[in-house]
Structure 1
Amino acid sequence: MRKWSEAFQVASVYVGTIVGAGFATGREIVEFFTRFGFYGTAAIFLAGVLFIVLGSKIMLVAIDIRAKSFEQLNEYLFGRRLALVMNIFLMLMLTGVCAVMLSGAEALFTEQLRLPQRTGLVFTVILTLIVMAAGVKGLFAVNTFVVPMMVVFNFLVMLLVMNTGSRVFAPVVSSGWEEGGKAVLSAFSYAAFNLALAQAVLVPMAAEIKDRSAVKRGGVIGGLLLTVILSSSHISLGTLSDPASFDIPMAVIVEGTAGTLYFLYLLIIYGEIFTSVIGNLYGLERQIRSYLPIHSLWIYICLLSVVYVISLVKYGTLLEILYPLFGYISIGFLFLLLIKPDKAR
C-alpha cells in the first residue's frame, strides 16, 4: 500500500510539473495540438506514450546512476562536454518557463479577476517562498491536492461541452499527409520540451525515493493522467472557431458552458500554474546548490527576482516564442533518452 501511495505522489508531482500556465489556460494545447484538428488527437496519444515510457525511464536511470540533479543525468546521456551545454540550456529553459507561469498568473488576476496589475505576480512570489520553505514535502502536498481536482474538472468540462452539441474541430486547411506530419512532429516536440524540463524535478525526486517499483508506477500513472487531461482539454478547445485568438481560451469555454463553475476553474488554473512554478524552482535550486553552498531561501529569492523581471513581458508573447523554440531544441534530449540503455538492464 505504501508503494502505491508513493507512486501516486510521484505521479502528482510529474503531472503538476508539466501542467502549467500554457497547459491550464489552453494556449499550449492549441499551439501544439488543437490547431491540427483531428490529427491533433492522434498526436496527443503519441505524446502520451512518450510521457509514460520516458517519464518512467528518466526516474529509473536516475536511481541506477545515483543522480541527484539533472546535471548528472545529462552527463550520462550526452557526455561531460555536451552535458555542460545542455545544463546551461535547461537552466535557461526552466527560468523562461517560470517567467511564463508568473506572466500567466498575472494575466489570470488582471484579465479574469479584474485586479490591479502586478497583484498576481506579487501574490505568487510570496506564496512560492512560503511553500518552498517546506522543501520537497511542500512540493508533494500542493501537487497531491491540485492534480486530482484538475483531472476531474477537465473531464467534467469536456462532458458539458459535448452535451451542448457543439461541433468539435473546424476543418484543417492543409492536406491530410502534410497536416498529419506536422502533428506528429509537434507531438515529439511537445514531449521533448516537457520531459527535458521535468527531469529537473523527476531526477532529485527519484533520488530521494530510491524505490524503482514506486517511481515506475508513478511514471505510468502520471503519463496516463497527462493523456486524459490533454485529450479532454483538446476536445473542449476544438469547439471554438478560433481558439488561438484568446489568451485563456479554456476560460471562454467554461464561462460559456459552465458559468457556475467559473471561479472554481480560475482557482484550478492558478493551482496548475503554481505547481509548475514550485516544481521548476525546486529543480533549479537543487542544481544551483551543487555549485554554490548557500541557503535555499536566498537561491529562491534571487531566482524569483530574475523570473519576475522576465515575466513582465506579455504572457501570450512569451508562450508563442519560447515554447516551440524550446521544444525543437529538446528533441535531441528525447532521442538520446530513447536510445540510451537502462543501466540496470
Structure 2
Amino acid sequence: MVKEILRVAFAVVGVIVGAGFASGQEIIQYYVGFGIPGLWAVVISAIVMSLITMIILQLASYFRASEHGEVFDHVSHPIFSKVLDIGVIVTLFSTGFVMFAGGGANLEQQWGLPVWVGALLTVVLVVCAGLLDVHKVTTVIGSITPFIIAFIVLASLYVVFFVDHAPVAELDRTAREIGSPLPHWTVAAVNYVGFNLMVAVSMAIVIGGTMFNPRVAGRGGFLGGLLFTGLLAVSAVTLFLAIDTVGDDELPMLSLIDSIHPVLGQIMAVVVYGMIFNTALGMFYALGKRLSAGRPQLFFPIYLATVLVGFGLSFFGFTTLVGYVYPVLGYLGLVLIAVMIVAWVRRYRYIASESDRRLRLVDFWRAGREDEFRTESHGSNLSADQIRAGIDES
C-alpha cells in the first residue's frame, strides 16, 4: 500500500510540476513578484492544492474512471460538464504543444542544438512512452520527480547557508520592482492553483481511476499535493532570498544551481528537460484517453495524431495566445475546484463505505469465498466485471 501511495504521489507531482515551475520562472511571476505577501499566497495555494488533489483522485477511484469526462458527467450538471470538458481538452492540447517548443528551447539554450532537434526528440520520447499502459506511464512520470526535489532542496540549502543576503526589506523592494502580471497576490494564489488543476486534472483522474481503493488513491493524492506545495514553498523562499541576483534571469533556479557548480547546472538542465517531457506526456496521454473514450482500440492512433499536430503547432508563435488563454483557464479551474469539492462532500460517506467494501471484496475473492463476494458486490457502485478487473489490477 505504501509503495502505491508513493508511486501515485510522485506521479501527481510529476504531472503538476512543469518546466516553468522547475526553472523558477512561474514562482517569481505568481509569488515572489509580490514580495513578502507573495509568500503568504503560497500558504493559500498549499492548502487548496493538497485537498483538491486528494478529492480528485478519490472521486476518480470511486467511479473507476478511465478519462476525465466520466467524472465530470457524474458530479456536475451537463452544461457545466461540457464547459469543463472543453476547457480541460483545450488546456491539455495547448500545454502539450507548448512543451514541445519548450523542449526545443531548452536544448538550444544549454547545448546550442537547433530548436527543431529538441522538439523532435521530445516528440519521439512522448510517442514511445504512449505505447505503455497507464500503470507504466504513471511510473515514468513519477520517476523524474525525486530529481527535481533533490535539486530544489540543494539550491535552497546553498542559498540559505552559503549566500550573503540583502536585508529583507531590500529583498522585498527588489521583488516588488520585478512585479507580477497578476493584479494581487490573493488572485495569483487562486489563479495558480486553478490553472495547475486544469493542467493536471485529466491525467490525475486517469491515474486515480487505476486505483481500486479510493482511500489509497486519496492518500496518494494528498501526499502528492503536500509534496508539490512543499516544493513550492521551498522554491519561493529560496528565490526570494536570491531575488537580487537571479530575479532578471530567464531560468532563475537553473542560475542558482549553475552558481554552485557548472556540472550541476548541466544536470539541472537535463532535469528541467525531463519535467518538460513529463508534462508533454501527461497532457497528450490524458488527451488521447479522453478523445478515444468508448473506443479504447483507437487510443494510440488518436494519441499519435494529436502529438504530431501538436509538434507542427509548436513551430508557430503562440505566446500571445497562451497569454490570453492561460489566465482564463485558471479562473475556469476555480469553477472546477468548486464542483469537485461539492461533489466530494456530498459523496464522502459513500466513498468511505465503498472503500471498506472493496477491501472486503478483495479478501473474499482471494480467499475463494464466492458467495460472500457475490453478496457484497451487490452493494457496490461497480459492476461485477469492474470489481474483478480492479482486483486483478491491484
TM-score by length of 1: 0.90
Question: Residue 258 of structure 2 contacts residue 266 of structure 2 at CA under 8 Å; is this kept in 1?
Answer: no
> In 2, are the aligned partners of 1:104 and 1:315 still within 8 Å (CA)?
no
- Residue aligning to 2:92: 94
**Structure 2 CA distance for partners of 1:29 and 1:96, relative to 1, 3 Å:** same
> Which residue of structure 2 lines up, in the alignment, with residue 234 of structure 1?
236
Structure 1 position 29, deviation (Å): 1.7
Quote the offset at 1:309 in angstroms.
2.7
The 8 Å contact of residues 30 and 237 in structure 1, kept in 2 or not, is answered as: yes
**Which residue of 22, 41, 44 corresponds with 1:43?**
41
Question: For residue 285 of structure 1, what is the amino acid of its counterpart?
Answer: G
* Cα shift at 1:180: 12
Aligned partners of 1:191 and 1:15: how far apart in 2? 13
After superposition, the CA RMSD in angstroms is 2.5
CA distance in 1, matches of 2:109, 2:87: 32
Q: Supply the distance in 1 between the matched residues of 2:328 and 2:217 (Cα, whole angstroms).
A: 30
* Structure 1 residue aligned with 2:303: 300
1:188 to partner: Cα distance: 1.1
Counterpart for residue 343 of structure 1? 347
Q: Which has the higher contact order (CA 8 A, sep 6+)?
A: 1
Shift of 1:55: 0.5
Residue among 8, 11, 16 paired with 2:9: 11
Contact conserved, 2:63 with 2:209, CA < 8 A, in 1?
no
1:183 to 179, 182, 185: 185
CA distance in 2, matches of 1:223, 1:8: 12
Q: Which amino acid aligns with 2:197?
A: L
Aligned to 1:34: 32
Match of 1:218 in 2: 220
Please point out which of 281, 286, 290 is paired with 1:287.
Answer: 290
Structure 1 partner of 2:335: 332
SS of aligned partner of 1:39? helix
Deviation of the 1:17 alpha carbon? 0.5
- TM alignment of 1:74-85, pairs within 5 A: 74-85=72-83
Task: Please say if residues 110 and 117 of structure 1, whose CA atoms lie closer than 8 Å, have aligned partners that are also in contact.
Answer: yes
Residues 210-256 of structure 1: per-residue CA shift (max 9 Å, x gap): 21222122112111110121122222322133866443222222222
> Partners of 2:336 and 2:45 in 1: how far apart?
15
Q: Conserved in 2, the CA contact under 8 Å of 1:70 and 1:199? A: yes
- Give unmatched runs, 5+ long, in structure 1: none
Contact (CA 8 Å) 1:146, 1:272: kept in 2 or not? yes
Gaps of 5+ in 2: 350-394
Counting matched residue pairs gives 339
> 1-side partners of 2:206 and 2:29: how far apart?
30
Secondary structure of 1:330's match?
helix
Paired position in structure 2 for 1:59: 57
Is this contact kept in 2: 1:158–1:232, CA < 8 A?
yes
Residues 158, 323 of structure 1: CA spacing in aligned structure 2 closer, same or farther, 3 A cutoff?
farther
CA contact (8 A) 2:155 2:253 kept: no
In the other structure, the counterpart of 1:270 is: 273
Contact kept in structure 2, 1:59 and 1:215, CA below 8 Å: yes
Is the contact between residue 61 and residue 342 of structure 1 (CA under 8 Å) also seen in structure 2? no
Distance 1:315 1:26 in 2: 21
TM-aligned CA distance change 1:98 to 1:332, over 3 Å: same
Q: Does the CA-based 8 Å contact 1:30-1:234 persist in structure 2? A: yes
Match of 2:388 in 1: none
- The offset of 1:320, in angstroms, is 4.2
Report the residue type matching 1:64 in the other structure. Answer: Y
Matched, 1:257 2:260: yes
Larger radius of gyration: 2
1:164 match: 163
* TM-score, normalised via structure 2 length: 0.79
Instruction: Give, in whole Å, the separation in 2 of the partners of 1:59 and 1:187.
Output: 22
Q: Would you say the 8 A contact 1:64–1:343 is kept in 2?
A: no
Task: Work out the CA distance in 2 between the residues paired with 1:323 and 1:243.
Answer: 25
Partner of 2:372: none
Paired with 1:198 and 1:272, the residues of 2 have a C-alpha distance of: 13
The alignment-based identity, stated in percent, is 25
| In structure 2, distance between residues paired with 1:206 and 1:91 | 18
SS in structure 2 of the partner of residue 217 of structure 1: helix
**How far apart in 1 are the matches of 2:251 and 2:322?**
12
Q: What amino acid is the match of 1:240?
A: I
Tell me, yes or no, if the aligned pair for 2:288 and 2:302 is still in contact at 8 Å. Answer: yes
